[in-house]
Amino acid sequence: MRKILASTIARVTGGVLLGEDREFSEVSTDTRTLKPCALFVALHGEKRDGHEFVPDAVARGAAGVVVERFFSINVTQIVVKDTFRALQDLALYNRQKGGLKVIGITGSNGKTTTKDLVKAVLRQKYNVCATEKNYNNELGVPLTLLNFDENTEVGVVEMGMRGLGEIDALCQIARPDIGIITNIGEAHLELLKSQENIARAKSELIKNLPGDGVAIINGESPYIKDIVANIPVKKYFFGHRAGDLYIKKFFQEDDGLRFSTGGVLEEEFFLPLLGVHNAVNALAAILTALTLGVKVPLIKKGLSEVELTGMRLEIQFIGSMKIIKDYYNASPTSVEAALKVLAGTGQKGRKIAVLGEMYELGDFEITGHRRVGEVASKLGVDFLITVGPKAREIGNGAIACGMSPQNIFHFATKEEAGSFLLNFLKPEDTVLLKASRGMKFEELFATIERGWFSNGNH
Protein backbone atom coordinates (compact mmCIF):
# COMPACT_ATOMS: atom_id res chain seq x y z
CA MET A 1 0.00 0.00 0.00
CA ARG A 2 1.11 3.58 -0.55
CA LYS A 3 2.12 5.18 2.75
CA ILE A 4 -1.01 6.59 4.41
CA LEU A 5 -1.42 8.34 7.77
CA ALA A 6 -3.93 6.92 10.24
CA SER A 7 -5.75 10.28 10.24
CA THR A 8 -6.20 9.99 6.47
CA ILE A 9 -7.47 6.43 6.84
CA ALA A 10 -9.99 7.63 9.44
CA ARG A 11 -11.15 10.40 7.11
CA VAL A 12 -11.45 8.06 4.09
CA THR A 13 -13.37 5.42 6.04
CA GLY A 14 -15.53 7.78 8.10
CA GLY A 15 -13.95 6.42 11.27
CA VAL A 16 -12.66 7.83 14.55
CA LEU A 17 -8.91 7.82 15.21
CA LEU A 18 -7.79 6.78 18.67
CA GLY A 19 -4.10 6.84 19.49
CA GLU A 20 -1.02 7.80 17.51
CA ASP A 21 -1.40 9.26 14.02
CA ARG A 22 1.19 6.96 12.54
CA GLU A 23 1.89 5.97 8.95
CA PHE A 24 0.96 2.60 7.46
CA SER A 25 2.11 0.85 4.28
CA GLU A 26 0.76 -2.67 4.92
CA VAL A 27 -2.80 -3.92 5.46
CA SER A 28 -3.77 -7.38 6.67
CA THR A 29 -7.02 -9.21 7.37
CA ASP A 30 -5.35 -12.45 8.49
CA THR A 31 -3.17 -12.68 11.59
CA ARG A 32 -1.43 -15.76 10.18
CA THR A 33 0.21 -13.70 7.43
CA LEU A 34 0.35 -10.35 9.21
CA LYS A 35 3.62 -8.43 8.85
CA PRO A 36 5.13 -6.33 11.66
CA CYS A 37 3.81 -2.74 11.83
CA ALA A 38 0.86 -3.59 9.56
CA LEU A 39 -2.69 -2.28 9.92
CA PHE A 40 -5.04 -5.13 10.86
CA VAL A 41 -8.64 -4.88 9.63
CA ALA A 42 -11.04 -7.01 11.68
CA LEU A 43 -13.57 -8.45 9.24
CA HIS A 44 -16.63 -10.57 9.98
CA GLY A 45 -16.04 -14.00 8.40
CA GLU A 46 -18.46 -16.82 7.69
CA LYS A 47 -17.30 -18.77 10.75
CA ARG A 48 -15.30 -16.35 12.90
CA ASP A 49 -15.33 -12.65 13.69
CA GLY A 50 -12.01 -10.92 13.04
CA HIS A 51 -12.50 -8.89 16.21
CA GLU A 52 -11.72 -12.09 18.14
CA PHE A 53 -8.21 -11.93 16.71
CA VAL A 54 -7.38 -8.31 17.54
CA PRO A 55 -5.27 -9.24 20.62
CA ASP A 56 -3.44 -11.84 18.53
CA ALA A 57 -2.83 -9.27 15.78
CA VAL A 58 -1.29 -6.87 18.30
CA ALA A 59 0.83 -9.67 19.76
CA ARG A 60 2.09 -10.46 16.26
CA GLY A 61 3.21 -6.90 15.69
CA ALA A 62 0.24 -4.98 14.27
CA ALA A 63 0.79 -1.26 14.82
CA GLY A 64 -2.86 -0.40 14.30
CA VAL A 65 -6.32 -1.89 13.90
CA VAL A 66 -9.54 -1.01 12.10
CA VAL A 67 -12.41 -2.19 14.28
CA GLU A 68 -16.10 -1.62 14.98
CA ARG A 69 -15.68 -1.23 18.74
CA PHE A 70 -13.01 0.12 21.09
CA PHE A 71 -10.33 -2.22 22.40
CA SER A 72 -8.15 -1.65 25.45
CA ILE A 73 -4.88 -2.03 23.54
CA ASN A 74 -1.80 0.13 23.21
CA VAL A 75 -1.82 0.61 19.42
CA THR A 76 -3.53 2.98 17.00
CA GLN A 77 -7.23 2.25 16.52
CA ILE A 78 -9.62 3.45 13.83
CA VAL A 79 -13.20 2.72 14.89
CA VAL A 80 -15.68 2.49 12.01
CA LYS A 81 -19.29 1.40 11.51
CA ASP A 82 -18.46 -1.39 9.04
CA THR A 83 -14.94 -2.79 8.69
CA PHE A 84 -15.62 -4.42 5.33
CA ARG A 85 -16.89 -1.14 3.87
CA ALA A 86 -13.87 0.58 5.41
CA LEU A 87 -11.55 -1.89 3.66
CA GLN A 88 -13.24 -1.14 0.34
CA ASP A 89 -13.08 2.63 0.89
CA LEU A 90 -9.39 2.42 1.74
CA ALA A 91 -8.76 0.26 -1.34
CA LEU A 92 -10.48 2.80 -3.59
CA TYR A 93 -8.42 5.62 -2.07
CA ASN A 94 -5.19 3.69 -2.63
CA ARG A 95 -6.20 2.89 -6.22
CA GLN A 96 -6.96 6.55 -7.02
CA LYS A 97 -3.65 7.94 -5.80
CA GLY A 98 -1.17 8.50 -8.62
CA GLY A 99 -1.57 8.02 -12.37
CA LEU A 100 -1.56 4.25 -12.58
CA LYS A 101 -3.59 2.21 -15.07
CA VAL A 102 -5.84 -0.61 -13.90
CA ILE A 103 -6.76 -3.60 -16.05
CA GLY A 104 -9.82 -5.63 -15.08
CA ILE A 105 -10.10 -9.24 -16.25
CA THR A 106 -13.21 -11.41 -16.16
CA GLY A 107 -14.64 -14.38 -18.05
CA SER A 108 -16.00 -17.88 -17.53
CA ASN A 109 -12.63 -19.57 -18.10
CA GLY A 110 -9.06 -18.44 -18.36
CA LYS A 111 -9.18 -15.42 -16.03
CA THR A 112 -6.18 -16.39 -13.92
CA THR A 113 -4.11 -17.61 -16.86
CA THR A 114 -4.84 -14.40 -18.77
CA LYS A 115 -3.93 -12.40 -15.67
CA ASP A 116 -0.59 -14.21 -15.56
CA LEU A 117 -0.02 -13.56 -19.28
CA VAL A 118 -0.92 -9.87 -19.03
CA LYS A 119 1.40 -9.47 -16.05
CA ALA A 120 4.23 -11.24 -17.90
CA VAL A 121 4.13 -8.94 -20.92
CA LEU A 122 3.49 -5.67 -19.11
CA ARG A 123 6.27 -6.17 -16.58
CA GLN A 124 8.70 -5.90 -19.49
CA LYS A 125 8.01 -2.14 -19.47
CA TYR A 126 6.11 -1.29 -16.29
CA ASN A 127 6.12 -1.94 -12.57
CA VAL A 128 3.10 -4.25 -12.32
CA CYS A 129 1.04 -5.37 -9.33
CA ALA A 130 -1.42 -8.19 -10.06
CA THR A 131 -4.00 -10.29 -8.26
CA GLU A 132 -2.29 -13.00 -6.23
CA LYS A 133 -3.42 -16.57 -6.90
CA ASN A 134 -7.08 -16.10 -7.87
CA TYR A 135 -8.21 -13.64 -5.19
CA ASN A 136 -10.95 -12.23 -7.39
CA ASN A 137 -14.01 -11.70 -5.18
CA GLU A 138 -15.39 -8.87 -3.04
CA LEU A 139 -12.55 -9.37 -0.55
CA GLY A 140 -9.77 -10.33 -2.96
CA VAL A 141 -10.19 -7.29 -5.21
CA PRO A 142 -9.77 -4.67 -2.45
CA LEU A 143 -6.79 -6.59 -1.06
CA THR A 144 -5.23 -6.52 -4.54
CA LEU A 145 -5.78 -2.76 -4.76
CA LEU A 146 -4.19 -2.34 -1.34
CA ASN A 147 -1.06 -4.06 -2.65
CA PHE A 148 -0.45 -1.13 -5.01
CA ASP A 149 2.44 0.97 -3.68
CA GLU A 150 4.30 4.13 -4.73
CA ASN A 151 6.14 2.23 -7.46
CA THR A 152 3.08 0.58 -9.06
CA GLU A 153 2.44 1.78 -12.61
CA VAL A 154 -0.09 -0.84 -13.76
CA GLY A 155 -2.52 -2.91 -11.72
CA VAL A 156 -3.93 -6.17 -13.09
CA VAL A 157 -7.12 -7.14 -11.26
CA GLU A 158 -8.96 -10.42 -11.76
CA MET A 159 -12.72 -10.19 -11.20
CA GLY A 160 -14.93 -13.17 -10.51
CA MET A 161 -18.68 -13.25 -10.06
CA ARG A 162 -21.56 -15.54 -9.20
CA GLY A 163 -24.43 -13.29 -10.21
CA LEU A 164 -25.59 -10.09 -11.86
CA GLY A 165 -24.34 -6.89 -10.27
CA GLU A 166 -21.25 -8.37 -8.64
CA ILE A 167 -18.72 -7.21 -11.23
CA ASP A 168 -20.42 -3.81 -11.23
CA ALA A 169 -19.74 -3.60 -7.48
CA LEU A 170 -16.10 -4.62 -7.94
CA CYS A 171 -15.66 -1.96 -10.61
CA GLN A 172 -16.84 0.74 -8.21
CA ILE A 173 -13.61 0.28 -6.24
CA ALA A 174 -11.23 -1.01 -8.93
CA ARG A 175 -12.16 1.68 -11.52
CA PRO A 176 -10.59 -0.21 -14.47
CA ASP A 177 -9.18 1.65 -17.49
CA ILE A 178 -8.97 -1.48 -19.64
CA GLY A 179 -11.42 -4.39 -19.48
CA ILE A 180 -10.75 -7.93 -20.72
CA ILE A 181 -13.44 -10.59 -21.19
CA THR A 182 -11.74 -13.94 -21.82
CA ASN A 183 -14.86 -15.87 -22.88
CA ILE A 184 -18.46 -16.72 -22.05
CA GLY A 185 -18.85 -20.35 -21.00
CA GLU A 186 -21.06 -22.51 -18.81
CA ALA A 187 -19.70 -21.68 -15.34
CA HIS A 188 -22.45 -20.28 -13.04
CA LEU A 189 -25.34 -21.55 -15.18
CA GLU A 190 -26.84 -22.89 -11.97
CA LEU A 191 -27.34 -19.33 -10.72
CA LEU A 192 -27.65 -17.30 -13.93
CA LYS A 193 -29.69 -19.87 -15.92
CA SER A 194 -28.42 -18.90 -19.40
CA GLN A 195 -25.24 -17.98 -21.25
CA GLU A 196 -26.88 -14.71 -22.23
CA ASN A 197 -27.22 -13.78 -18.56
CA ILE A 198 -23.59 -14.79 -18.00
CA ALA A 199 -22.58 -12.50 -20.87
CA ARG A 200 -24.60 -9.66 -19.37
CA ALA A 201 -22.93 -10.16 -16.00
CA LYS A 202 -19.45 -10.17 -17.56
CA SER A 203 -20.27 -7.10 -19.68
CA GLU A 204 -20.64 -5.04 -16.50
CA LEU A 205 -16.86 -4.69 -16.67
CA ILE A 206 -17.10 -2.97 -20.05
CA LYS A 207 -19.98 -0.73 -18.96
CA ASN A 208 -17.84 0.60 -16.12
CA LEU A 209 -14.91 1.68 -18.30
CA PRO A 210 -14.31 5.43 -18.68
CA GLY A 211 -14.95 7.17 -21.99
CA ASP A 212 -11.30 6.77 -22.97
CA GLY A 213 -11.22 3.17 -21.77
CA VAL A 214 -10.42 0.13 -23.92
CA ALA A 215 -12.35 -3.15 -24.05
CA ILE A 216 -10.56 -6.33 -25.16
CA ILE A 217 -13.12 -9.08 -25.74
CA ASN A 218 -13.24 -12.64 -27.03
CA GLY A 219 -15.56 -11.98 -29.96
CA GLU A 220 -16.23 -15.67 -30.56
CA SER A 221 -18.14 -15.95 -27.29
CA PRO A 222 -21.94 -16.06 -27.56
CA TYR A 223 -24.06 -12.92 -27.06
CA ILE A 224 -21.23 -10.64 -26.00
CA LYS A 225 -20.83 -8.60 -29.20
CA ASP A 226 -24.48 -7.60 -29.24
CA ILE A 227 -24.51 -6.80 -25.53
CA VAL A 228 -21.50 -4.45 -25.67
CA ALA A 229 -22.31 -2.95 -29.09
CA ASN A 230 -23.66 0.35 -27.75
CA ILE A 231 -21.14 0.88 -24.96
CA PRO A 232 -19.12 3.96 -26.04
CA VAL A 233 -15.54 2.73 -25.56
CA LYS A 234 -12.82 1.55 -27.93
CA LYS A 235 -13.21 -2.20 -28.51
CA TYR A 236 -10.83 -4.85 -29.79
CA PHE A 237 -12.10 -8.36 -30.45
CA PHE A 238 -9.90 -11.43 -30.49
CA GLY A 239 -10.53 -15.10 -31.21
CA HIS A 240 -9.23 -18.40 -32.45
CA ARG A 241 -10.35 -17.88 -36.03
CA ALA A 242 -11.54 -14.28 -36.35
CA GLY A 243 -11.28 -10.84 -34.81
CA ASP A 244 -9.00 -7.82 -34.72
CA LEU A 245 -6.36 -10.32 -33.61
CA TYR A 246 -6.65 -14.06 -34.26
CA ILE A 247 -4.64 -17.27 -34.57
CA LYS A 248 -3.39 -17.98 -38.10
CA LYS A 249 -1.32 -21.09 -37.34
CA PHE A 250 -0.29 -22.97 -34.23
CA PHE A 251 2.09 -25.83 -33.52
CA GLN A 252 2.18 -27.74 -30.24
CA GLU A 253 5.79 -28.56 -29.42
CA ASP A 254 7.24 -30.59 -26.55
CA ASP A 255 8.14 -27.48 -24.58
CA GLY A 256 5.20 -25.27 -25.48
CA LEU A 257 3.10 -23.72 -28.19
CA ARG A 258 4.28 -21.76 -31.21
CA PHE A 259 1.63 -19.68 -32.94
CA SER A 260 1.31 -16.90 -35.48
CA THR A 261 -1.24 -14.10 -35.39
CA GLY A 262 -3.26 -12.29 -38.02
CA GLY A 263 -5.21 -9.04 -38.00
CA VAL A 264 -3.75 -5.90 -36.43
CA LEU A 265 -0.46 -7.72 -35.80
CA GLU A 266 1.16 -10.43 -37.91
CA GLU A 267 3.87 -12.04 -35.82
CA GLU A 268 5.01 -15.39 -34.45
CA PHE A 269 5.08 -16.07 -30.72
CA PHE A 270 6.22 -18.86 -28.41
CA LEU A 271 4.30 -19.76 -25.27
CA PRO A 272 5.66 -22.33 -22.77
CA LEU A 273 2.12 -23.64 -22.23
CA LEU A 274 -0.14 -26.36 -23.58
CA GLY A 275 -3.27 -25.96 -25.69
CA VAL A 276 -4.41 -23.59 -28.39
CA HIS A 277 -6.89 -22.11 -25.90
CA ASN A 278 -3.88 -20.63 -24.11
CA ALA A 279 -2.75 -19.04 -27.37
CA VAL A 280 -6.19 -17.41 -27.51
CA ASN A 281 -5.72 -16.19 -23.93
CA ALA A 282 -2.37 -14.78 -25.02
CA LEU A 283 -4.11 -12.70 -27.69
CA ALA A 284 -5.79 -10.69 -24.93
CA ALA A 285 -2.40 -10.07 -23.33
CA ILE A 286 -0.89 -9.02 -26.67
CA LEU A 287 -3.70 -6.52 -27.35
CA THR A 288 -3.36 -5.13 -23.82
CA ALA A 289 0.39 -4.70 -24.26
CA LEU A 290 -0.04 -2.98 -27.62
CA THR A 291 -2.63 -0.64 -26.09
CA LEU A 292 -0.13 0.36 -23.40
CA GLY A 293 2.75 0.86 -25.81
CA VAL A 294 4.80 -2.28 -25.19
CA LYS A 295 6.97 -3.13 -28.20
CA VAL A 296 6.57 -6.50 -29.95
CA PRO A 297 10.03 -7.86 -28.98
CA LEU A 298 9.20 -7.24 -25.32
CA ILE A 299 5.79 -8.88 -25.74
CA LYS A 300 7.49 -11.96 -27.18
CA LYS A 301 9.95 -12.03 -24.29
CA GLY A 302 7.18 -11.72 -21.72
CA LEU A 303 5.08 -14.52 -23.20
CA SER A 304 8.10 -16.83 -23.41
CA GLU A 305 8.83 -16.26 -19.70
CA VAL A 306 5.30 -16.54 -18.29
CA GLU A 307 4.76 -18.50 -15.09
CA LEU A 308 1.24 -19.66 -14.34
CA THR A 309 -0.61 -19.82 -11.06
CA GLY A 310 -0.66 -23.49 -9.97
CA MET A 311 -2.84 -26.46 -10.97
CA ARG A 312 -3.53 -25.25 -14.52
CA LEU A 313 -2.32 -27.62 -17.24
CA GLU A 314 0.89 -28.38 -15.37
CA ILE A 315 3.00 -31.23 -16.70
CA GLN A 316 4.69 -33.51 -14.18
CA PHE A 317 6.42 -36.80 -14.84
CA ILE A 318 6.19 -39.69 -12.41
CA GLY A 319 8.93 -41.89 -13.75
CA SER A 320 8.16 -42.17 -17.46
CA MET A 321 4.44 -41.53 -16.92
CA LYS A 322 3.25 -38.06 -17.93
CA ILE A 323 0.63 -36.40 -15.74
CA ILE A 324 -1.32 -33.35 -16.91
CA LYS A 325 -2.51 -31.60 -13.74
CA ASP A 326 -5.43 -29.28 -14.47
CA TYR A 327 -7.69 -29.39 -11.47
CA TYR A 328 -8.03 -25.84 -10.25
CA ASN A 329 -11.52 -25.74 -11.73
CA ALA A 330 -13.64 -27.28 -14.48
CA SER A 331 -16.44 -26.47 -16.89
CA PRO A 332 -17.37 -28.24 -20.13
CA THR A 333 -15.36 -25.71 -22.14
CA SER A 334 -12.21 -26.03 -20.04
CA VAL A 335 -12.44 -29.84 -19.87
CA GLU A 336 -12.75 -30.03 -23.65
CA ALA A 337 -9.66 -27.83 -24.00
CA ALA A 338 -7.74 -30.11 -21.64
CA LEU A 339 -8.88 -33.20 -23.55
CA LYS A 340 -7.51 -31.68 -26.75
CA VAL A 341 -4.16 -31.22 -25.03
CA LEU A 342 -4.24 -34.87 -23.92
CA ALA A 343 -5.13 -36.05 -27.42
CA GLY A 344 -2.31 -34.02 -28.94
CA THR A 345 0.44 -35.28 -26.67
CA GLY A 346 3.41 -36.98 -28.28
CA GLN A 347 3.84 -39.56 -25.51
CA LYS A 348 4.07 -43.18 -26.73
CA GLY A 349 1.72 -44.87 -24.28
CA ARG A 350 -2.01 -44.82 -23.61
CA LYS A 351 -4.00 -41.60 -23.28
CA ILE A 352 -6.10 -41.75 -20.12
CA ALA A 353 -8.57 -39.08 -18.99
CA VAL A 354 -9.45 -39.04 -15.29
CA LEU A 355 -12.39 -36.64 -15.04
CA GLY A 356 -14.29 -35.52 -11.97
CA GLU A 357 -17.53 -33.65 -11.51
CA MET A 358 -18.18 -30.16 -12.83
CA TYR A 359 -20.10 -27.92 -10.45
CA GLU A 360 -22.59 -25.05 -10.82
CA LEU A 361 -24.01 -26.16 -14.18
CA GLY A 362 -27.66 -26.06 -13.09
CA ASP A 363 -30.05 -27.39 -15.74
CA PHE A 364 -27.03 -27.93 -18.02
CA GLU A 365 -25.53 -30.47 -15.60
CA ILE A 366 -26.44 -33.69 -17.43
CA THR A 367 -25.93 -32.25 -20.91
CA GLY A 368 -22.60 -30.68 -19.95
CA HIS A 369 -21.17 -33.88 -18.50
CA ARG A 370 -22.38 -35.94 -21.46
CA ARG A 371 -20.88 -33.45 -23.92
CA VAL A 372 -17.48 -33.87 -22.32
CA GLY A 373 -17.74 -37.64 -22.77
CA GLU A 374 -18.65 -37.21 -26.42
CA VAL A 375 -15.56 -35.06 -26.95
CA ALA A 376 -13.34 -37.62 -25.21
CA SER A 377 -14.63 -40.31 -27.55
CA LYS A 378 -14.24 -38.19 -30.69
CA LEU A 379 -10.68 -37.26 -29.76
CA GLY A 380 -9.68 -40.89 -29.44
CA VAL A 381 -8.92 -40.99 -25.71
CA ASP A 382 -7.97 -44.60 -24.92
CA PHE A 383 -9.46 -44.90 -21.43
CA LEU A 384 -11.90 -42.79 -19.46
CA ILE A 385 -12.06 -42.84 -15.67
CA THR A 386 -14.86 -40.79 -14.11
CA VAL A 387 -15.12 -39.80 -10.46
CA GLY A 388 -18.21 -38.71 -8.53
CA PRO A 389 -21.95 -39.36 -9.07
CA LYS A 390 -22.47 -36.53 -11.57
CA ALA A 391 -19.46 -37.63 -13.62
CA ARG A 392 -21.16 -40.90 -14.53
CA GLU A 393 -22.87 -38.97 -17.33
CA ILE A 394 -19.44 -38.34 -18.89
CA GLY A 395 -19.16 -42.07 -19.48
CA ASN A 396 -22.69 -42.21 -20.85
CA GLY A 397 -21.83 -39.49 -23.35
CA ALA A 398 -18.68 -41.32 -24.42
CA ILE A 399 -20.57 -44.58 -24.95
CA ALA A 400 -23.26 -42.81 -26.98
CA CYS A 401 -20.49 -41.49 -29.21
CA GLY A 402 -18.94 -44.90 -29.82
CA MET A 403 -16.44 -45.46 -27.02
CA SER A 404 -16.33 -49.04 -25.76
CA PRO A 405 -17.86 -49.48 -22.28
CA GLN A 406 -14.89 -51.74 -21.52
CA ASN A 407 -12.64 -48.68 -21.71
CA ILE A 408 -14.68 -46.66 -19.22
CA PHE A 409 -14.44 -47.00 -15.44
CA HIS A 410 -16.58 -45.10 -12.95
CA PHE A 411 -15.88 -44.55 -9.24
CA ALA A 412 -17.93 -42.83 -6.58
CA THR A 413 -14.91 -41.33 -4.82
CA LYS A 414 -11.37 -40.27 -5.67
CA GLU A 415 -10.09 -42.73 -3.06
CA GLU A 416 -11.63 -45.63 -5.01
CA ALA A 417 -10.30 -44.18 -8.26
CA GLY A 418 -6.82 -43.85 -6.75
CA SER A 419 -6.72 -47.49 -5.68
CA PHE A 420 -7.75 -48.57 -9.18
CA LEU A 421 -5.27 -46.30 -10.95
CA LEU A 422 -2.31 -47.58 -8.96
CA ASN A 423 -2.84 -51.01 -10.51
CA PHE A 424 -4.00 -49.76 -13.90
CA LEU A 425 -1.42 -47.16 -14.91
CA LYS A 426 1.70 -48.14 -16.84
CA PRO A 427 4.99 -46.47 -17.77
CA GLU A 428 4.70 -44.18 -20.83
CA ASP A 429 1.00 -43.46 -20.15
CA THR A 430 -0.24 -39.88 -20.39
CA VAL A 431 -2.86 -39.11 -17.75
CA LEU A 432 -5.10 -36.05 -17.57
CA LEU A 433 -6.43 -35.16 -14.11
CA LYS A 434 -9.28 -32.66 -14.47
CA ALA A 435 -12.12 -31.73 -12.11
CA SER A 436 -13.80 -28.87 -10.31
CA ARG A 437 -11.86 -27.45 -7.38
CA GLY A 438 -14.15 -29.02 -4.81
CA MET A 439 -13.13 -32.51 -5.95
CA LYS A 440 -9.61 -31.89 -4.55
CA PHE A 441 -7.86 -33.85 -7.27
CA GLU A 442 -4.49 -32.80 -5.84
CA GLU A 443 -5.14 -35.54 -3.29
CA LEU A 444 -5.67 -38.04 -6.11
CA PHE A 445 -2.39 -36.95 -7.68
CA ALA A 446 -0.61 -37.41 -4.33
CA THR A 447 -2.04 -40.94 -4.07
CA ILE A 448 -0.77 -41.81 -7.55
CA GLU A 449 2.66 -40.29 -6.90
CA ARG A 450 3.18 -42.07 -3.57
CA GLY A 451 1.82 -45.39 -4.74
CA TRP A 452 3.68 -45.44 -8.05
CA PHE A 453 7.13 -45.57 -6.48
CA SER A 454 6.11 -47.76 -3.53
CA ASN A 455 4.95 -50.34 -6.09
CA GLY A 456 8.50 -50.55 -7.42
CA ASN A 457 7.97 -48.43 -10.55
CA HIS A 458 10.60 -46.05 -11.90
Are 74 and 109 part of one and the same domain?
Answer: no
Give the residue numbers of the binding site.
107-113
Are 169 and 288 part of one and the same domain?
Answer: yes
- pLDDT top residue among 451 and 373: 373
**Residue 91 counted as domain residue:** no
d(CA 188, CA 162): 6
Which pLDDT score is estimated for 328? 84
d(CA 42, CA 288): 36
Are 330 and 225 part of one and the same domain?
Answer: no
- Picking from 152, 157, 107, the residue whose alpha carbon sits closest to that of residue 132 is 157
Are 47 and 104 part of one and the same domain?
Answer: no
**Residue 134 counted as domain residue:** yes
11 three-class SS: helix
Which pLDDT score is estimated for 133? 79
For the cut 70, the answer to whether the pLDDT of residue 334 exceeds it is: yes
**Residue 87 counted as domain residue:** no
CB atoms within 10 A of CB 97: 13
Are 71 and 156 part of one and the same domain?
Answer: no
Q: Please give the average per-residue pLDDT across 345-358, as a whole number.
A: 91
d(CA 324, CA 316): 7
**Residue 130 counted as domain residue:** yes
pLDDT digits (tens, 9 = 90+) for 168-214: 999 999 999 999 999 998 877 878 889 999 999 999 999 999 999 99
| CATH code of 432's domain | 3.90.190.20
For the cut 80, the answer to whether the pLDDT of residue 134 exceeds it is: no
Are 196 and 300 part of one and the same domain?
Answer: yes
Query: 434: which residues sit within 8 A by CB, 6+ positions away?
Result: 324, 326, 327, 330, 334, 335, 338, 339, 353, 354, 355, 356, 441
Which pLDDT score is estimated for 53? 96
**Residue 309 counted as domain residue:** no
pLDDT digits (tens, 9 = 90+) for 423-440: 999 999 999 999 998 999
Question: Is 319 within 8 Å of 337 (Cβ atoms)?
Answer: no
Which pLDDT score is estimated for 457? 63
| CATH code of 267's domain | 3.40.1190.10
Task: Give the Å distances, CA to CA, from 260 to 121, 154, 216.
Answer: 17, 27, 19
Domain boundary among 273, 304, 335: 304
Q: Please give the average per-residue pLDDT across 348-374, as a whole number.
A: 94
State how many domains the chain has. Answer: 3
d(CA 347, CA 323): 11
Which pLDDT score is estimated for 426? 93
For the cut 90, the answer to whether the pLDDT of residue 140 exceeds it is: yes
Domain boundary among 304, 336, 354: 304
Q: What is the DSSP string of 338-361?
A: HHHHHHT---SS-EEEEEE---S-
Which pLDDT score is estimated for 253? 83
Are 283 and 336 part of one and the same domain?
Answer: no
For the cut 60, the answer to whether the pLDDT of residue 458 exceeds it is: no
pLDDT-derived band of residue 308, with 50, 70 and 90 as boundaries? confident
Question: Is 436 within 8 Å of 359 (Cβ atoms)?
Answer: yes
Which pLDDT score is estimated for 200? 95
Are 240 and 351 part of one and the same domain?
Answer: no
Are 233 and 203 part of one and the same domain?
Answer: yes
Q: What is the mean pLDDT of the chain?
A: 94
**Residue 152 counted as domain residue:** yes
Which pLDDT score is estimated for 391? 96
What is the domain range of residue 36?
Answer: 4-81
- pTM comes to 0.86
Are 292 and 380 part of one and the same domain?
Answer: no
Which pLDDT score is estimated for 312? 76
Which pLDDT score is estimated for 342? 93
**Residue 90 counted as domain residue:** no
Are 112 and 34 part of one and the same domain?
Answer: no
pLDDT digits (tens, 9 = 90+) for 228-277: 999 999 999 999 999 999 999 999 887 889 999 999 999 999 999 988 99
d(CA 316, CA 314): 6
d(CA 331, CA 279): 19
For the cut 90, the answer to whether the pLDDT of residue 395 exceeds it is: yes
Give the residue numbers of the binding site for ATP.
107-113
For the cut 70, the answer to whether the pLDDT of residue 393 exceeds it is: yes
Domain boundary among 304, 332, 360: 304
| CATH code of 10's domain | 3.40.1390.10
Are 51 and 175 part of one and the same domain?
Answer: no
45 three-class SS: coil
Q: Please give the average per-residue pLDDT across 144-164, as a whole number.
A: 95
Long-range CB contacts for residues 425-428, cutoff 8 Å, separation at least 24: 425/321, 425/352, 425/452, 426/321, 426/349, 426/350, 427/319, 427/320, 427/321, 427/349, 427/457, 427/458, 428/320, 428/321, 428/347, 428/348, 428/349, 428/350
**Residue 93 counted as domain residue:** no
Which pLDDT score is estimated for 187? 79
Question: Is 335 within 8 Å of 313 (Cβ atoms)?
Answer: no
Q: Please give the average per-residue pLDDT across 120-132, as a whole number.
A: 97
d(CA 170, CA 353): 37
Which pLDDT score is estimated for 344? 85
What size, in residues, is the chain? 458
